[in-house]
Structure 1
Amino acid sequence: MKDAIEMMETYMKPETVKRARIKAERESLTIKLAQLREKQNLTQTQIAGFSQTAVSKLEKRKDLKISTLIEYLDSLGMGVEIRAYPKKTSDVHSEAVLLKL
């Protein structure tokens, strides 16, 4: 499958590929949030500080405030780490942790 995607990308403009990857990452975030909750054996109604409706909306959103993400993950008993890294190199020494809660 990866080869098919790479082949399709060769026919696309670089900016189009970049936008598609960003969109895919946002979509995967919503899936990951629900999976994290499910791994904790929690239903949407069991999340402290959030109504079931709010959890449902949050898990479907493609754009979240960092503060909302932190609060949601805290309710799951999980922390957050935001890391910055250079896109054009694989120099791990240039990485920096911006936030770890």
Structure 2
Amino acid sequence: MKKSSLKQKSPRLSAIEKIEKSLSKESIDRAKSKSKEILFQINLSELRKSIGMKQEEITSFSQSSLSKLETRKDMKISTLKDYLNSLDMDLEIKAKVRNPQKNRNIKKEYVLLRSI
């Protein structure tokens, strides 16, 4: 008999599933939203680090301003554009169709802003 290489899901609930069952939908939605904000914050500093730049090397912002910028929950598009420009990068914002199978007659994504 050949063993299946696919792991079967355990009948027991994972710790996350147990916690989710005890929370309201609103609480879960807030937590997911907060996690996306945190990932966005991490991505800005990681983006800068990935190209080998230190905060002190960016002359268009002070080090303290960069620190605040990279930990903001929200920012203006113009600020993000300036930040990326200081990293010698461009900004492109796209809108993507969530369910392309349902909306077959429209494009899958639209470029809303391209900053070069």
TM-score range, shorter chain: 0.7 to 0.9
Unaligned runs of 5+ in 2: 1-13, 102-106
Aligned residue number for residue 98 of structure 1:
112
Cα offset for 1:13? Answer: 2.2
Point out the structure with the larger helix share: 1
Q: Structure 2: how far apart are the matches of 1:61 and 1:12? A: 27
C-alpha deviations, 1:22-75, integer Å up to 9, x for none?
111111111111111111111101113101111111111111111111110111
Work out the number of aligned pairs and report it: 97
Q: What TM-score do the two structures reach when normalised by structure 2?
A: 0.71
- Percent pairwise identity: 42
Unmatched 5+ stretches in structure 1: none
Change (3 A) 1:95 1:13: farther
Larger radius of gyration between Structure 1 and Structure 2: 2
Asked whether 1:57 is paired with 2:71, we answer no
- Matches of 2:21 and 2:114 in 1, distance apart? 37
AA of the residue aligned to 2:99: S
Q: How far apart, in 2, do the equivalents of 1:37 and 1:5 lie? A: 32
Is 1:42 aligned with 2:53? yes
What's the CA shift string for 1:68-91, capped at 9, x where partnerless?
A: 1111011111122222234xx421
Deviation at 1:8, TM superposition (A): 2.9
Q: 1:70 to 1:12 in 2, by over 3 A?
A: same
CA distance change for structure 1 residues 11 and 84 in 2, over 3 Å: closer, same or farther? farther
- Which of 78, 82, 91 is equivalent to 1:80? 91
1:19 counterpart = 2:30: yes
Q: Match of 2:23, as an amino acid?
A: M
Question: In structure 1, the residue corresponding to 2:43 is in which secondary structure?
Answer: helix
What is the CA RMSD across the aligned residues, in angstroms? 2.0
